[in-house]
Structure 1
């Protein structure tokens, strides 16, 4: 409280100077702020040279004082938002000393692009109005102060966990003094000090309000199709009335805005929700709702926000701040008394109900580009968000619209599900076998003791790596299968999944898991303490069993049964054993077992028919075969760049992961594929002659 009182006094002092009629004192104090921000630019680094920068106290106090100067326009509905001039950080003739020249911009900005300058007096810092200068200085001071402190919290937490794992006995209440205990105490003190500095109640309240104003201002810029700042932007219109995606091309101010400011907003809100949800409860709900709407608008506009990392951070912040603790799966989150108010924001707005689900569904596929481990974490949280809003009736039409009218985007989303589950479960099951073997070897004392110390060390390291991978991958796989489970009950989604580009991969993925659990190698998955690895074989089997049963019974074309029958993993006996297992342990509702058994019988018959058909097609002319898969083509298409002919399903699958011609490496899209109707007619006639 003493720190807040000191900051308030400093703020009043600065404000008093700025209110003097003579502009000289005001310009002098603001120049001092800009100069201090310039000299402390290195605070944005994770490990700066502390001898060359101010300490955390100065940086946080500077941010608090600048927020006090911004107080008159911290309300998102303030009419002063119109006085924020984007060219303060956008035109090339003048760049504030507070902002480095090499900032990453939100959009892709050509070198010759420049913000139009309405007033030639804006060639110096003093040429900009007070509101603009305070606004952008405050955002920069938050970046170098509280946000810089927040970014170190994860580092402190990781160090604490490492010490706990390496020396657990040294941290017990009655343990004697030790280096590990001292190191733990020092690191814990740093963590708590950082939390106190970054999450002071008044600082939090003002910071969230400023980010709300900034995000609203930015989204309105992005929704205005203007190449300069001469067009009047209506900041008074309701955000609920916006149409997404944001207009393209948009206002140059939107393209020029530094990407890190948006990242700061997501980082600060996410950390606040994780570390101090009680203080988050005190924040103005209107500001939080403005932030939520802005995050959704930016997340659902991938053409304007190019970075998948940044778009993923919107979902992470929504997950942390707005999803109820009870819906966060295995994450250990503190329950706060007002989280229900924030959760209600996910269903109260027509805008949120229209755009949140499509934004998350599209992002689920796009996070593939963030890297393996990041994608696992992002997809787990996106899946939990989707499950929550799926149960809010007002979101359902947006889900259906995405599945029925956005075919290419839906296929990308579904491909993300299949890729993640295939990789996660297949790798996890193999690693579980390795874990089992190591567990058995360690129990065999004579064998284990016969190994060299180096061999033991390598085996233990491999075991620990496998344990880390399996526990995270199976957690996500379980959530993805939950999602497939409830989507397979919806006829709109069943129809969307049962398309040539997806149905065979979907059937193969589900069959592979079921056969791994119920087939002859299932015994190899029997490990000690499976719950430690989030491995729950009965639950996993039940989810896959239900999903197969529902897809087969909810689609009328027979495509899914054909796909099951034709996939390499199909095993009639393993499917039959799975049915007996779920019945014996009462894992699924009784009405689903007959449906599954009926599907299995149909698949067995169809599998034999397909085998006979394949035998008849073995002498197909080479021109009828897909050059990549060497299988008979159903829908041949020509690639314009390389002039090769492939089956449409094969090239569509390739384009889900690589937007290039597989032969020439040149860019390629679905729209460029050229149908080959004459060749298709020849293939169809040849197939008919073989029946």
Structure 2
């Protein structure tokens, strides 16, 4: 006899001992109290299940009268009732005339030969059932299930009389017997000469198995090899789910899995599965782990993309929206069922909860590469799996996200120093290097971490490495579409030039492939919309991140206040708390990236949530550079404010109201923006020179918006009065930007003018295709640069107009006024001088260039400053660009196009007259002065110094106003590039006295001559 046969016989004997050894008679003699205690609680499971019960075989139902007659009560016989109900529920009979049931002929003969009554009872029902099962073959399980259903239905309809305990006990025991043989049929099908049974298939295929049967089955085998039945089922169901996509998804499969796991004896088996958490790579988690498999349902398949979204450009928006909506409903239903499964596991026991949390943390810990610049998709877990688990994390977070932040104290700050589940050791910290961070976290805390803290930090990681990484993948897909479209346009142009050639056929094939790729990428963009733009889920994510913002502000304030229950109080300490400095950057980035994605996709989520915490979060962390070292991370806070104040057609901005009413914003936003405008001058990156312009563009846009709000009136003047050096530094950098950006913009426009003429000439003269293409490519690149420079330059010059209208005196400080005048004069000459013809380009609005509007804005700055004596002198001193004729030409243009009022024009003419008077006076004084000694002249400006100071390391004497102006944009000695501050210089009193004596002598000489 083979080993396999021995094993089979042993298992059969064990099961038969359990089912037959304890017969129905013995079980029915148990007390009703014992049966009541052992009776499964079916009501709860009835409420939960969504799986349809199988229809029972059509047979006569036992009619149990609700109010039996007196004759029936007197005539009730237990033996007769047992016989009748057994025959009816098992569909068997001992009467050959009863054609509606299966006749147990051999069993009847055995009873007769033994001289026993021909009736079914507690003692022989087991044998009768075995006799029936010897004939059922492959229908054995179906027969047992239908018989169980009949017993269950009779049991539910029993009348409440004095015989109820007896009837209940008998029927319960009969169910037990049927379930026992059902188990033998599944585990040892050859016992009844039937084929192998796929239990998982029976559970999921129509009509399915009643949940009450599963409850009885689990209760029967809980202590007798339950794992042998359900470990294969759990593995099989998880594999079935992993092989589905959103198009082939069968909801009943995951519902059956939930029904099973809702039973605690089965739930405890889950962490014991071979597939629970085997050693595997991130890319294989969703194929080799149980929770990974059931979390992997995806819309990101080529089949789904092609079927629902192919040729999207040729389809109506309503059609596309309908597909997104229908698939979104499937995904939402699936994700909710997934959450229910994981939630049940977590609530099963503390041990299982720990194992589930370990798994959820492990998935996100091994997927940090999802945020890398270049991602190998085979070495990371898919977007679908990460987003599905992120949904689960959001649902698990909901209980502590009430609007009053009542549970914010439960998120333990010491969690990160007490065996945290999330791995952040290698992540960049907010303001700490690796060595100091390791030192800080080496001093840990003892004790357990609570459940809320675990969910909080794991969910935060899922937002960064799951949701935001998927958003980044979506953005990369959109960029890929744009690049492919540009390449297709270029190839189509080449095809037109090279028609009727072999090259044209090759180009046609390339164009076709590009078209297919573009169409597929567009389809995947819609797939991402399904997973990322469901309103209910974006709302959950924002609610969670809003809670995170409040918690971070508490940590930043060293938990010194009861925020957010009490108002936040600024300023914070100059030095950030150690814990805050050692937090991973992605704690902030998870928030900024997600909020920006909501803005960029025009999501309505932010319109339905309070934004006070977001406003306070951005403003507070902008005020202190010592809290967040990375300037690009702080720049995202400004970007949030920028998008928050933008208006779109039919959609108002979302943050203007909160910026108007927030006490934190109205007091601290302007100095915070000014401070960051200065700090961003140097970022430490090779691209810092160009990066600062983009960031300052956002700052300028925010300034332009809040400038109109009454709550901010007078705030800029207040900054100028309370911190003049800070304000002057800010203005100086703004002038530097305006000078550079407008200069570059006008140069690029000149280049565009020349390139447009060059392309036309090349085409008209029949030059080679290569020359034409090179010129066109240069033109496209230059157009892109010009557009950026014009936009940034326009923004900066409009900022100058706003600020000079409010506090003109501040812009006439000696350190900056001459630079401002030179910049204005230079650009006025470019717009109205002889060079203006070179700025004529086709479709100037394409490059954000409106020369009339720019001219009007520059003249507004002159108008704002024309009454300041220092400004008049500075304009007059600009010998490079100032020209009276340029102003006259500018006035002619504004008159022609009605850009200024007659009063403004008259004011400009009076200003020019004042400048001319001052120039004449200066020229006369210079003639009287003659050649001043060289050591009297400023080495940079070549003008006579008024307040000479000595630079400490180079020893050079220079005018104090000159070195102050230099230090506004460069903190080094201009002669040897060593570090320098204004405090380092020393007055050169001797030279100053010498210059003053020289100037006094000149005045006396002039006075004598005038006598």
Q: Equivalents in 2 of 1:324, 1:197: separation in Å? A: 26
Q: Give yes or no for contact 1:82–1:235 (8 Å, CA) kept in 2.
A: no
Q: Which residue of 2 aligns with 1:417?
A: 734
Q: Give yes or no for contact 2:631–2:680 (8 Å, CA) kept in 1.
A: yes
- SS of 1:488 mapped into structure 2: helix
Q: Which residue of 2 aligns with 1:228?
A: none
From 601, 606, 611, give the equivalent of 1:275. Answer: 601
Seen in structure 2, the aligned counterparts of structure 1 residues 510 and 63 have a Cα distance that, compared at 3 Å, is same
Any residues of structure 2 matched to 1:364-379 within 5 Å, and which? 364-369=677-682, 371-379=688-696
Q: Equivalents in 1 of 2:445, 2:566: separation in Å? A: 33
Q: Which residue of 2 aligns with 1:260?
A: 586
From 874, 895, 899, give the equivalent of 1:583. Answer: 895
Q: Give a deviation string over 1:515-552, Cα, whole Å, max 9, x none.
A: 11111222222222222222211111111112112211
Q: Which residue of 2 aligns with 1:548?
A: 862
Q: Equivalents in 1 of 2:333, 2:778: separation in Å? A: 54
- SS of 2:902 mapped into structure 1: coil
Q: Give yes or no for contact 2:972–2:981 (8 Å, CA) kept in 1.
A: yes
> Which has the higher Rg, Structure 1 or Structure 2?
2
Q: Equivalents in 1 of 2:681, 2:703: separation in Å? A: 18
Q: Which residue of 1 aligns with 2:850?
A: 536
From 307, 311, 323, give the equivalent of 2:645. Answer: 323
Q: Equivalents in 2 of 1:559, 1:215: separation in Å? A: 47
Residue 644 of structure 1 and its aligned partner are, at CA, apart by 3.5
Q: Give a deviation string over 1:572-606, Cα, whole Å, max 9, x none.
A: 11111111221222111221111111111111222
Seen in structure 2, the aligned counterparts of structure 1 residues 190 and 412 have a Cα distance that, compared at 3 Å, is farther
From 743, 757, 778, give the equivalent of 1:440. Answer: 757
Counterpart check, 1:149 vs 2:470: yes
Q: Equivalents in 1 of 2:884, 2:444: separation in Å? A: 77
Q: Which residue of 1 aligns with 2:877?
A: 566
Residue 670 of structure 1 and its aligned partner are, at CA, apart by 3.0
From 926, 933, 944, give the equivalent of 1:621. Answer: 933
From 648, 671, 676, give the equivalent of 2:983. Answer: 671
Any residues of structure 2 matched to 1:124-203 within 5 Å, and which? 127-167=448-488, 178-203=512-537
Q: Equivalents in 2 of 1:517, 1:236: separation in Å? A: 53
From 656, 660, 669, give the equivalent of 1:347. Answer: 660
Residue 29 of structure 1 and its aligned partner are, at CA, apart by 1.3
Q: Give yes or no for contact 1:637–1:645 (8 Å, CA) kept in 2.
A: yes
Q: Equivalents in 2 of 1:184, 1:110: separation in Å? A: 43
From 277, 299, 302, give the equivalent of 2:622. Answer: 299
Q: Which residue of 2 aligns with 1:681?
A: 993
Q: Give yes or no for contact 1:471–1:534 (8 Å, CA) kept in 2.
A: yes
Q: Give yes or no for contact 2:414–2:445 (8 Å, CA) kept in 1.
A: no
Q: Give a deviation string over 1:232-272, Cα, whole Å, max 9, x none.
A: 65335534x4113x312232111111112212211111111
Q: Equivalents in 2 of 1:675, 1:109: separation in Å? A: 41
Q: Normalised by the size of structure 1, how large is the TM-score?
A: 0.87
Q: Equivalents in 2 of 1:651, 1:532: separation in Å? A: 41
Q: Equivalents in 1 of 2:744, 2:602: separation in Å? A: 37
Any residues of structure 2 matched to 1:481-496 within 5 Å, and which? 481-490=797-806, 493-496=807-810
Seen in structure 2, the aligned counterparts of structure 1 residues 572 and 9 have a Cα distance that, compared at 3 Å, is same
Q: Equivalents in 1 of 2:461, 2:702: separation in Å? A: 31
From 890, 906, 916, give the equivalent of 1:604. Answer: 916
Residue 642 of structure 1 and its aligned partner are, at CA, apart by 4.0
Gaps in structure 2 of 5+ consecutive residues: 1-328, 493-507, 1004-1011
Q: Equivalents in 2 of 1:385, 1:520: separation in Å? A: 36
Q: Which residue of 1 aligns with 2:632?
A: 309
From 22, 25, 38, give the equivalent of 2:352. Answer: 25
Q: Equivalents in 1 of 2:655, 2:637: separation in Å? A: 15
Q: Give a deviation string over 1:479-514, Cα, whole Å, max 9, x none.
A: 222222232222xx2111110111111111111111
Q: Which residue of 1 aligns with 2:242?
A: none
Q: Equivalents in 2 of 1:138, 1:499: separation in Å? A: 52
Counterpart check, 1:103 vs 2:427: yes
Seen in structure 2, the aligned counterparts of structure 1 residues 303 and 688 have a Cα distance that, compared at 3 Å, is farther
- SS of 1:591 mapped into structure 2: helix
Q: Which residue of 2 aligns with 1:83?
A: 410
Gaps in structure 1 of 5+ consecutive residues: 225-230, 326-332
Q: Equivalents in 2 of 1:639, 1:628: separation in Å? A: 13
Q: Give a deviation string over 1:58-81, Cα, whole Å, max 9, x none.
A: 111121211222222224632322
Q: Give a deviation string over 1:379-427, Cα, whole Å, max 9, x none.
A: 3332222111101011123222223322233223222322222112112
Counterpart check, 1:223 vs 2:557: yes
Q: Give a deviation string over 1:128-177, Cα, whole Å, max 9, x none.
A: 22222211111111111110011233322222223333445999xxx999
Q: Give yes or no for contact 2:815–2:961 (8 Å, CA) kept in 1.
A: yes
Q: Give a deviation string over 1:607-655, Cα, whole Å, max 9, x none.
A: 2333444555664334333334444322223333444332223222332
Seen in structure 2, the aligned counterparts of structure 1 residues 163 and 680 have a Cα distance that, compared at 3 Å, is same
Counting matched residue pairs gives 653
Seen in structure 2, the aligned counterparts of structure 1 residues 78 and 279 have a Cα distance that, compared at 3 Å, is closer
Q: Give yes or no for contact 1:267–1:317 (8 Å, CA) kept in 2.
A: no
- SS of 1:683 mapped into structure 2: helix
- SS of 1:515 mapped into structure 2: helix
Residue 84 of structure 1 and its aligned partner are, at CA, apart by 2.2
- SS of 1:593 mapped into structure 2: helix
Range that drifts further, 101-110 or 538-547: 101-110
Q: Equivalents in 2 of 1:28, 1:615: separation in Å? A: 91
Residue 115 of structure 1 and its aligned partner are, at CA, apart by 4.3
Counterpart check, 1:644 vs 2:994: no
Q: Give yes or no for contact 1:367–1:375 (8 Å, CA) kept in 2.
A: yes
Seen in structure 2, the aligned counterparts of structure 1 residues 42 and 441 have a Cα distance that, compared at 3 Å, is closer
Seen in structure 2, the aligned counterparts of structure 1 residues 296 and 634 have a Cα distance that, compared at 3 Å, is same
Q: Give yes or no for contact 1:95–1:101 (8 Å, CA) kept in 2.
A: no
Q: Which residue of 1 aligns with 2:331?
A: 3
Q: Which residue of 2 aligns with 1:328?
A: none
Q: Give yes or no for contact 2:364–2:461 (8 Å, CA) kept in 1.
A: yes
Seen in structure 2, the aligned counterparts of structure 1 residues 166 and 448 have a Cα distance that, compared at 3 Å, is farther
Residue 11 of structure 1 and its aligned partner are, at CA, apart by 2.8
Seen in structure 2, the aligned counterparts of structure 1 residues 629 and 138 have a Cα distance that, compared at 3 Å, is same
Q: Equivalents in 1 of 2:333, 2:771: separation in Å? A: 61
Q: Which residue of 2 aligns with 1:506?
A: 820
- SS of 2:822 mapped into structure 1: helix
Q: Normalised by the size of structure 2, how large is the TM-score?
A: 0.61
Counterpart check, 1:66 vs 2:396: no
Q: Equivalents in 1 of 2:963, 2:434: separation in Å? A: 33
Q: Give yes or no for contact 2:555–2:580 (8 Å, CA) kept in 1.
A: yes
Greater RCO (Cα-Cα under 8 Å, separation 6 or more):
1
- SS of 1:646 mapped into structure 2: strand
Counterpart check, 1:400 vs 2:727: no
Q: Which residue of 2 aligns with 1:329?
A: none
Q: Give yes or no for contact 1:147–1:268 (8 Å, CA) kept in 2.
A: yes
Seen in structure 2, the aligned counterparts of structure 1 residues 268 and 119 have a Cα distance that, compared at 3 Å, is closer
Q: Which residue of 1 aligns with 2:794?
A: 478
Residue 189 of structure 1 and its aligned partner are, at CA, apart by 1.7
Q: Equivalents in 2 of 1:518, 1:232: separation in Å? A: 60
Q: Equivalents in 2 of 1:534, 1:62: separation in Å? A: 45
Seen in structure 2, the aligned counterparts of structure 1 residues 120 and 365 have a Cα distance that, compared at 3 Å, is closer
Seen in structure 2, the aligned counterparts of structure 1 residues 162 and 658 have a Cα distance that, compared at 3 Å, is same
Q: Give yes or no for contact 1:109–1:255 (8 Å, CA) kept in 2.
A: no
- SS of 1:637 mapped into structure 2: strand
Seen in structure 2, the aligned counterparts of structure 1 residues 121 and 415 have a Cα distance that, compared at 3 Å, is same
